[in-house]
Amino acid sequence: MEENLSAILYGKNDLRIENRSIPEPGPGEVQLQMQDVGICGSDVHYWTNGRIGNFILTSPMLLGHEASGVVSKLGQGVTNLKIGDRVAVEPGVPCRMCKFCKTGRYNLCTEIRFCATPPIDGNLARYYCHAADFCYKLPDHVSTEEGALLEPLSVGVHACRRAGVTIDSTVLISGAGPIGLCCYLTAKAMGAKQICITDVDDNRLKFAKNIGVHHALSVRSKTSEEMATQIETTLGQRPEISIECSGNPAGLKNCMLATGNGGCVVMVGMQPDEVTVPLLNAAVREVDIRGTFRYANCYPTALSMIATGQVDAKPLITHRYKLEDSLKAFEHAKTMRDGAVKIMIRCAQG
C-alpha cells in the first residue's frame, strides 16, 4: 500500500513527518503526486509562532504552498488536464462568485482557501488534491522546481503591476530576500532601466549582485534621510517606484523618503499593524502608497516569463532536501545559514 508522507504542524515548534491517507479528488479537482515544494517565510513563521496575525493554528495542518506536482487522478468534470501532466499549483482557491472574483481581484475574496493558512492544509506531502482550474500545465522544458518558484514570482508580478513598472522605470526594492529578488527579476523583465536593492545583510546583497542587480546598497547604520540621499546619488535620480519587501518599518520609511515626487510606494512585506512613517512628506509630494496581498491572474504571466527565458529563477534555489528530511530543511530555513535563499523540498520518491 502506498503511503502519503506529510509534513504536519501540530503546534508551535511541533512539526512532525507522518503518514496520512491518500486523498481522493472531488468534483473539479485533481489528485497530484507532489514533486517540489519551496519553504516560504510564512511556513517558518507558523512553525515557530503558531500564528500569523489573525490566522491562528488551532488544529494540525499540512505546511507548504509553493508547489508543483504531476496529475495522478482526475476528479469528476475535469477536462483541462490529463493524468501525467506536470503542473504548477496556485495555492489560493477563491469562491469564484463574489464581486472580487467576478471583477478579477480574487485575491481579495473573503472565502478564499489558501494552502497552509489555518485551517486549510498545505501540500508538503506525497499526494495532495487541488482545484484543477488553479493548476497550470508546465511546458516540457520548464522543470517542476521552476513550477514551484512560480508562487513567489507571482508575488513579484503582482507587486510590479500594482506599482506600474514599465519600460524605462527606475525602481527601488527594499529587502533582498526571495520576494525582493523575485520583484527584481520581474521588474527587469518588464523593462525597468535601473534597479537598486537594499538590505541589512551583506551576504544577501552579494547574492543580489551575483544574479545581476544593478545597485545593491547596505542600509545598516544609516538614517532614512541618509539612505534617500545615497539612493538618489546611486541612481542619478530619485526612484519613480519603490517596492518594500522587508516588512521592516525602517524599510517603509526609506522607500517613502527616497521615492521621487509623483511616484509610487508598494508595500509587499508584512508590516506591523501600526507604524510611524513620514506620511505628510509623501502626501505633499503626491507619492502614492499601495498595498498588495498575494496575487491574482499572475501565474500565467510568471510561467510565460520563465518559459520564454525572460526570467531565470533557478539561481534562487540554494539548498535542496528530501521530504523525509523536512525538519532539517525547516531548521535551515529558520537560520538561513550558509547563504540560503530559497530552500526546496523534493516530495517525489526516487
Write out pLDDT tens, residues 153-210.
999 999 999 999 999 999 999 999 999 999 999 999 999 999 999 999 999 999 999 9
Residue 147 lies in a domain: no
The whole-angstrom separation of Cα 145 and Cα 168 is: 31
Q: Do 175 and 245 touch, CB atoms closer than 8 A?
A: yes
CATH of the domain at 229: 3.40.50.720
The residue written with cell numbers 508590516 in the block is: 271
* Distance, CA of 154 to CA of 299 (rounded, Å): 6
Whether 144 is in a domain gets the answer: no
User: At a CB cut-off of 8 Å and minimum separation 6, what does 196 contact?
Assistant: 171, 172, 173, 213, 214, 215, 216, 217, 231, 234, 235, 239
Q: Is residue 167 part of a domain?
A: yes
Work out the end-to-end distance of the chain between its first and last CA atoms, rounded to an integer number of angstroms: 17
Average pLDDT of the segment spanning 113-122: 97
Q: Is residue 41 part of a domain?
A: yes
Model pLDDT for residues 141-158, shown as the tens digit of each residue: 999 999 999 999 999 999
Compute CA distances 214 → 100, 195, 234, 253, whole Å. 37, 6, 10, 22
Domain residues for 129?
4-137+313-346
Distance CA 298, CA 290 (A): 18
In a domain? residue 296: no
- Residues 234-260 as b/e (b if ≥16 CB within 10 A, e otherwise) read bbeebbbbbbbbbbbbbbbbbbbbbbb
Angstrom distance (rounded) from CA 73 to CA 70: 9
Structural domain contains residue 301: no
Q: What is the pLDDT of residue 53?
A: 85
Global pTM exceeds 0.95: yes
- 304 lies in some domain: no
Same structural domain, 73 and 161: no
Dist CA 131 CA 25 (whole Å): 9
Question: Distance from CA of residue 314 to its chain's centroid?
Answer: 14
Nearest to 112 by CA among 96, 131, 136, 128: 96
Residues 215-274 pLDDT 10s: 999 999 999 999 999 999 999 999 999 999 999 999 999 999 999 999 999 999 999 999
